[in-house]
Structure formats: C-alpha cells, structure tokens
Amino acid sequence: MDPKEVKSDLVLILDFGSQYTHLITRRIRSLSVFSLCISGTSSLKAITDLNPQVVILSGGPHSVHACDSPSFASGFVEWAEANGVYVLGICYGLQLIVQRLGGVVEVGEKQEYGRMEIEVEKANGLYGTKRVGDRQVVWMSHGDEVAKLPQGFEVVARSQQGAVAAVENHSKRFYGLQYHPEVTHSPEGMETLRYFLFDVCGITANWKMENLLDEEINIIKETVGPDDHVICALSGGVDSTVAATLVHKAIGDRLHCVFVDNGLLRYKERERVMETFERDLHLPVTCVDAVDQFLSKLKGVTDPEVKRKIIGKEFISIFDSFGHDLELKIGKKPSYLVQGTLYPDVIESCPPPGSGKTHSHTIKSHHNVGGLPKDMKLKLIEPLKLLFKDEVRQLGKILNVPNAFLKRHPFPGPGLAVRVLGDVTEGNALEVLRQVDEIFIQSIKDAGLYDSIWQAFAVFLPIKSVGVQGDQRTHSHVVALRAVTSQDGMTADWFNFEHQFLDNVSRKICNSVRGVNRVVQDITSKPPSTIEWE
C-alpha cells in the first residue's frame, strides 16, 4: 500500500516518541480519516511528498531545552504556512511549536501528571461551542510549561494550576494542546479532535475500507507484471491469510501460497490450518516440512533477537528454494513475496527520535521486518503494512474470509520460539508448551470467552520448581498463562478471569501435562511489558 495512492485527506503524525503517538493514529482513523505516522525528524521532502492536509506533532519524553532534543525539519513552519496546512502540537509538540516560533518554554514550578481539570478561556477555535468558563478533565503528562507565547498566539485554555493548556494562532493555522486528547482519560478528547479536524481544518471523512480494497488491488496489478508470479508466505494467521486472499483476487492463479511447518507451531496447527485453506478459502497452498531445518539452526540459541533473525533467514531460504522448484514447474521465476506485515510490526521494528537512532525504540524485530536478509532475491509485497489488526479483520470480512477464521487470536511469526524462553530445542519444552497452550485455549473457548480476548497463550519458563504430586516430591517445569484485551495490539490490558476458571485450568494442566507442577498468570499491561514475553 502506497500512502500517496490513498484517496483521502491525509492527517500526518510526526512521532516524537510518546507512548500514545500511535493511539492518535488509531483515533483519527476511527473517524474515517486516513492517518499515518512517521518519524518526527523526517526530512521536509518526506513530509511534503505525502501531501498532508493536517500535521500533528506528537508528545514525547524529551525536553525542548535539551541540546539534542528532536525537532521537525528546517523549513517545516514556512512550508505549512505557504501551503495552508493545519498544524496541531500535542504536549511536547505544543512546546516545540512555542519554542521554534519565538515563544518561551520553562521548567514548570508545578509539574502536571495525570488527571487535571482545565478551563476554557476562549470560546472558539479548538473548543467549538464551548463557552468561556467551561471545564473538562484531561490527562496531563509534562514537567515543562509555556511561559511566553509566540507573537500572534492566544491562550485558549488553562489548567486549574494556571498552566497553559491550549493555544492557537488562527491566521497561521497553528494550534496546540498541552494534554493528551487521544487517551480515554481525557473524556472529551475525541470531541476536541473531531471538532478540530472537521470544523477547524475542513477535513472530509471519506476513508473507507471498501475504497482501500479497490485501491490496493489496483496497486498490486500495477506492481506485478502481467506475466509475473508471486509467492505468498501463509502462517495460518489472519494477517497472511487476508493478504493472500487480497493478492489472489488481484492476480488469480499466478499466486502460489506456501505454508511452512517449522516445528514451532501450536498443537495440531498444521493439520487444522491446511484443512481451512483447502475447504474454506480455496487457496492454492503447498505445505513444506522444515521442522529439522529450523530446529537444528535454533539449537543452543537463547537470545530472542537472534532467534527472530534466524527464523526470518530460514523462512526466506525456504521461499527461495520453493521459488526455484516453482520455476522448474511453470518455466518462469517468481518475482515477488507476499507477507502479512502490519503497521504495528513496522512501528515496533523501527528506530524514536532522540534515541540516537533514526526513529521510537526498537521493541523487537518482527521477522517480517527485521529478519529479512539484505540480499533477498524476491521483491516484497506487503499490502497490509499501513493497517492495524482490527482494520485487517474489516478488510477480511469484505473479502469474505470466514468470520471464525478472522476472529483467531494473533500468533507471532516466530511461533513458539518466542514463547519458550531459552533454548527451544532443550528437552521436551515445545511439546510441553503445545499441550499446556491447547488446554488453556480450549478452556477459554469452552467458557465462551475467546471472542472477548485479544490474545491468549502459554509461556514455557526456563525454571523448575519443587512440587508434590502423587505424595512425592517433584522438581518440574513452570508455565505462565497470558491473556490480554486490546484494540490494535499497540496497548493492552490483562484479562481478568474468574478465580474458578483459573483454578480449573491450573488443575487440568498439572494433571494432564507430564513435567509441569506450577502454573502462574501474567497480569502485566502493555506498556510496560509487551504482549509476548520475547
């Protein structure tokens, strides 16, 4: 998907490292407006090439006083003014606007973190029909504050402590919020964003998934030549399946799907997935047994990043080999590889401004992104790389992918390799994990909870604990259970099971899986943790 091809007013977010940045992207898309997030330190050309109607400067952990604090590109202000582009700064973004346009930002006498009440001082602009004196609760997160506004700017709202909470310069089309309107802790934040986009900026809510489907099919047809053949890596997950169905709709039988059994799949995953592909989706799929190839390369490896790199490299090796066999069969070498890479995969594998790297901290290398060799022979097609998971499910529904398949929980590309902490080939860790995971997931389904949970899975821990089973001392494995709720995987809360459910699952696991004598539950949100353990 090329952002330039999306027929919609674009709202571009410049990311300065806030943990909420990508929530802004989601909130705006929920208003049927296409939004995209790029590094806050992107070049002016990278920004202007996208031709945004609105630019939002995100928050971030930095102080504008620091000599190495990240900033927008030189010439950005002049370009925005000359082209009538609206600019909204949020938190650090507001302070950046104030400082770069001639105002003053100082260390606040009273820092503001958490819920705070603000009061409207100007009854137009950002707050629409709000009257002077109207109050609302917002979510603050800043230590610096605006001490002097640039020429032409006005205060629109202040906090209960007197700090500047919102500013605007109507003639320049520059606006700023010291708080985070995108989080649910700012109850009227979405109303403010909605008013700003539609009433202040005049944005049109015309971004629809149906339009996106047509655009993407056209892009694939233009990219893939009339005689070119394409390989698609199918994992059995929603992402790769929707990507394959989309490409198949665009180029038909010139798509050749391959499902790789890498020895890191869940319980009976190979049989179940292949049956679904053939019976329900009617996709042309070849199954490759590469269990020994993967596990031999992973033997002795404990570092999660190294695991991901190895797995990514082996996948590409298999696809190259599959492509060679396909060439002998059809008389033409395949040119492209389709992958179900999503926007969160790209985001989390990218470098944030101010980190000394080129963009946010690399949380983990996604095997679709960070594990690909530079000398890969196949060119990539990633039709979903600007979409979040829930948007992929919407697209799949339009493509008539069976609903039961679309509701499947996400499964990581590296499979159980990142759910066995340590060496995946040691002992019978993989088999133990498969059995534990199957009991956990089936119990969730039996309890009618599967669709209420974003993702659930078990983790094999590299420790043993003392237990008592059959009146005898045991020294056996510990497993962890994780279940979270989420909108798009960027943030997540742990799912609160009833105690009786957890009691039943724990008993089933310890009674049924030989070698396990202790079950623990992960009750950490994202952030501070990630959803997966590795």
First to last CA, the chain: 29
Of 112, 145, 168, 182, catalytic: 182
**Which of 369, 487, 368 has the alpha carbon at shortest distance from 29?**
487
Answer yes or no: are the C-beta atoms of 166 and 132 closer than 8 Å: no
Catalytic residue among 22, 180, 248, 367: 180
DSSP conformational letter for 183: S
Edge to edge, the sheet with strand 104-120 lists 34-39, 10-15, 54-57, 86-90, 174-177, 164-169, 154-159, 104-120, 135-148
- The Cβ of residue 395 has, within 10 Å, a number of other Cβ atoms equal to 24
Cite the annotated binding site for ATP by residue number. Answer: 235-241
- 91 in catalytic set: yes
Beta pairing partners, 39 = 15
Strands 135-148 and 104-120: antiparallel
- Catalytic, 180? Answer yes
Is 170 an active-site residue? no
Whether residue 371 contacts residue 313, with contact meaning beta carbons closer than 8 Å, is answered with: yes
Q: Which string of DSSP letters, residue by residue, matches 281-292?
A: I---EEEEE-HH
Contact by Cβ (8 Å): 345, 369: yes
Does the N-terminal peptide bond of residue 528 adopt cis geometry, omega within 30 degrees of 0? yes
Cis before 52? omega within 30: no
Strand partners, 481: 458, 521
Q: Can you point out the beta strands (E) in 30-183?
A: 34-39, 54-57, 86-90, 104-120, 135-148, 154-159, 164-169, 174-177
Structure tokens at 466: 């003392």
CA distance linking residue 429 with residue 416, whole number of Å = 10
Find where tokens 């700064």 sit.
89
**CA dihedral defined by 66, 67, 70, 73, rounded to 10 degrees?**
140
Residue 164's closest CA among 94, 114, 62, 101? 94
Cβ atoms 293, 318 nearer than 8 A: yes
Binding site per annotation, positions: 235-241
> How far is it, in rounded angstroms, from Cα 50 to Cα 488?
24
Strands 154-159 and 164-169: antiparallel
Give the separation between CA 83 and CA 33, rounded to whole angstroms.
Answer: 20
From the list 91, 232, 257, 350, the catalytic residue is 91
Residue positions annotated with a catalytic role: 91, 180, 182
